[in-house]
Amino acid sequence: MKQSFLFTKTRREAPADEQSKNAKLLIRAGYIHKEMAGVYSYLPLGLRVLNNIIEIIRKEMNTIGGEEVLLTTLQDPEIWKKSGRWDDKDIDIWFKTKLKNGGELGLGNTHEEEITALMTEQIASYKDLPQYIYQFQNKFRNESRAKSGIMRTREFIMKDLYSFSADAASHNEFYERASLAYEKIFAQVGIGTKTYRTIASGGSFSKYSHEFQTICETGEDIIYIDDKKRIAVNKEVYDDPEVYATTGIDKKVLRKERAVEVGNIFTLGTRYSDALGLIYKDMEGKNIPVFMGSYGIGPGRIMGTLVEVLSDEKGIVWPEAVAPFKVHLLALAGVDEDIRTYAQKLYEDMIKKGIEVLYDNRDVRAGEKFADSDLLGIPWRVIVGKDTLTSGNIEVVSRADGTTEKKTRAEVLAL
């Protein structure tokens, strides 16, 4: 894409009321736009990053047998009353609205109730199990504090998967498979080494759940890491002796870190299938409640975490797998038509080679191009200048570590 085509501009300053590093940088770079506290729009470059993250997640969910659906935002109070979660005292972050004809509706803050009710029409027998259903759908949460940029928002896309198993044993088998898929996702988006499966508090059916926590100075959580076992304990269960008794973790070796939750997996058991009547007939014809789990990842939260964790004083640093483009091609042409022609031809050849490239063809100073390029954080900066025409060399700079190499045209086209 030519940069002149892009309607977004970079900005020197973030909005004065924006406190978080991720939102400041993403707004300045033109990736997102702040509508209100905790409510952000995604602009073209930001949507590309978000969609890249979504595609990585989708692929892994399909690999573990997930089937994609799209549930609704508007929620029928009746199903939430059955599970005892309609009252604002039970869920304190509800957004609710009213039908014109009368009657309240909820805006989905999660989708256990809706998917469980839906599955009562699809699951009748043990032959219909297991099932793994997922979606990418907006969640709405009436947060009283929304100061962490796109890490904690009032409206955000979440990937939520729900598993439906015949019993705890087959549930546990899938739970571990989902956990491995999550680890693969975090590795692919570039936070694998900084992310730990973390024991956290559970619910009515399992004493513990698991979070995936990424070490991050600005994270809202505190975790305690066992480096050898590559596992962590969330502060909320750190003082529970059972954690250590059941897992063999040695409390003494743990080191404390600030972290951000980038995913969670949860054994729901029959909490929702009991409430909403999701039962199946086993081989003897006996009615058994379906054993459920839920598995969440917020692509926007991952995007924010990447900015918090990887950016430097000059701007954003995207891992290649999620970057809006792989290459940022800068023509330092000035009034030199030959340089412009060379860069334009290189741009066209990159596209032919299938290289995702943003081409800064704008008529602005070199310094401005460099500063914008640092801010945007595209992994490889390819610079065509005077030297290119005389020596044939093209400068290639890595955004992550700043290393610079002279490459030939053929080498650049093999990036």
* Contact positions vs a copy of itself (CB under 8 A): 5-9, 11, 33, 35-36, 39-44, 47, 50, 65, 67-76, 92-93, 95-101, 105, 107, 114, 118-119, 121-123, 128, 131, 133, 138, 140, 142-144, 154-155
212 vs 291, which CB is nearer to a copy of itself? 291
H/E run at residue 212: strand 208-215
Taking the C-alpha atoms of residue 117 and residue 111, their distance in angstroms, rounded to an integer, is: 10
Quick check: 355 and 379 in contact, CB under 8 A? no
What is the SS3 string spanning 127-172? Answer: HHCCEEEEEEEEEECCCCCCCCHHHCCCEEEEEEEEEEECCHHHHH
In one letter, which amino acid is 353?
K
122 vs 341, which CB is nearer to a copy of itself? 122
19 vs 97, which CB is nearer to a copy of itself? 97
90 vs 227, which CB is nearer to a copy of itself? 90
105 vs 288, which CB is nearer to a copy of itself? 105
Residue 208, C-beta contacts closer than 8 angstroms, at least 6 positions apart: 199, 200, 201, 202, 237, 243
74 vs 414, which CB is nearer to a copy of itself? 74
Taking the C-alpha atoms of residue 252 and residue 48, their distance in angstroms, rounded to an integer, is: 44
Report the first-to-last Cα separation within the chain, whole angstroms. 17
Q: How far, CA to CA in Å, does 162 sit from each of 166, 266, 269?
A: 14, 10, 11
Side-chain half-sphere of 357: how many Cα atoms within 13 Å?
27
What is the smallest separation between the CB atom of 115 and a copy of itself, expressed in angstroms? 9
What is the smallest separation between the CB atom of 144 and a copy of itself, expressed in angstroms? 5
What is the smallest separation between the CB atom of 181 and a copy of itself, expressed in angstroms? 18
What is the smallest separation between the CB atom of 46 and a copy of itself, expressed in angstroms? 8
Q: How many CB atoms lie within 10 A of CB 241?
A: 8
| Cα-based torsion angle of the residue sequence 117, 120, 126, 129 in order, rounded to the nearest 10 degrees | -50
Residue 241 in tokens: 């002796």
8 vs 344, which CB is nearer to a copy of itself? 8
105 vs 366, which CB is nearer to a copy of itself? 105
Quick check: 322 and 306 in contact, CB under 8 A? yes
What is the smallest separation between the CB atom of 187 and a copy of itself, expressed in angstroms? 26
What is the smallest separation between the CB atom of 179 and a copy of itself, expressed in angstroms? 22
Taking the C-alpha atoms of residue 375 and residue 22, their distance in angstroms, rounded to an integer, is: 12
39 vs 180, which CB is nearer to a copy of itself? 39
What is the smallest separation between the CB atom of 94 and a copy of itself, expressed in angstroms? 9
What is the smallest separation between the CB atom of 302 and a copy of itself, expressed in angstroms? 16
What is the smallest separation between the CB atom of 119 and a copy of itself, expressed in angstroms? 8
Question: Phi, psi at residue 246, to the nearest 5°?
Answer: -85, -20
